[in-house]
Amino acid sequence: NELESKIQQLEAEHRFVLSRISHEIRNPVTLINSSLHIIEQEHPEVQEFTFWKETKEDLAYLRKLLDELSSYNNSDRLNLSDIQSGPWLQELSAKLRLLAGDKPFLVQTVLPPDLPMVAADSVKLRQVLTNLARNALEAGCTCLRIEASADDKDLTIHVSDNGSGIPEEYLETLFCPFVTHKSGGTGLGLALSKKILDAHGGQLYLSSSNKSGTCFTLCLPISTAPSKKPRINPAT
């Protein structure tokens, strides 16, 4: 109808403007990064300058922000393929362990052998799970548990950690773009995860307490079902 068409038009215009802004900023950022690299090579003594390290860190943050902004802007554009969910989750879980480097970080999996095939964008789903694992690591968690189950309609993936939970006052804005409660965060990681689940016609739930840590629940339709709004389920 006319209203839906207008909404789609506004969304397309919004995406275009965001892409243009990101593109125009990325070009000079790339040049500045190259210039800093050349300066450091030709004048290594500059590394002793008081603000050199901070300047490079600020630029790295800006590049990260641009990358996540681009991902967020394109999060509802899916490249669907058939995924054998059990083997895919098992393989990804092994890779998530590598995010910790030398830090102690255990990734446990509980995956029944008969998990169904789903039509999904494997790259974007990997973004979601990687983001959740990275958040757990940055919060000081040492264990991540990935548990999956399925019924006739949905594949359900629980991603839980052994952390101290998320403060209740943060829950309402947790999935809002550009709202962050951690140093160096862009506020786009969880917003991106929510949009990706939306685009798949899925749902994203959250429960968190200071006794049992945090658990994100991803529900993916086995068939391409209409999208439902994600919602937050704070623990009581």
Higher pLDDT, 143 or 234: 143
Q: Most confidently modeled of 9-13, 87-91, 96-100, 135-139?
A: 87-91
Q: Most confidently modeled of 65-69, 82-86, 184-188?
A: 82-86
Q: Is the pLDDT of residue 29 over 50?
A: yes
Tokens representing residue 77 in the block? 């554009």
Q: How confident is the model at residue 33 (pLDDT cuts 50, 70, 90)?
A: confident
Q: Are strands 203-209 and 106-110 parallel, antiparallel or unpaired?
A: unpaired
The secondary structure of 212-232, three-state, reads: CEEEEEEEEECCCCCCCCCCC
Query: How many other CB atoms sit within 10 Å of the CB of residue 18?
Result: 15
Which of the residue ranges 12-16, 83-87, 95-99, 144-148 would you say has the lowest mean pLDDT?
12-16
Question: Could you report the per-residue pLDDT of 143-154, keeping only the tens digit for each?
Answer: 999 999 999 899
Distance CA 194, CA 175 (A): 7
Distance CA 157, CA 90 (A): 12
Which of the residue ranges 11-15, 115-119, 185-189, 194-198 would you say has the lowest mean pLDDT?
11-15
Note the pTM of the prediction, 2 decimals.
Answer: 0.71
Higher pLDDT, 178 or 12: 178
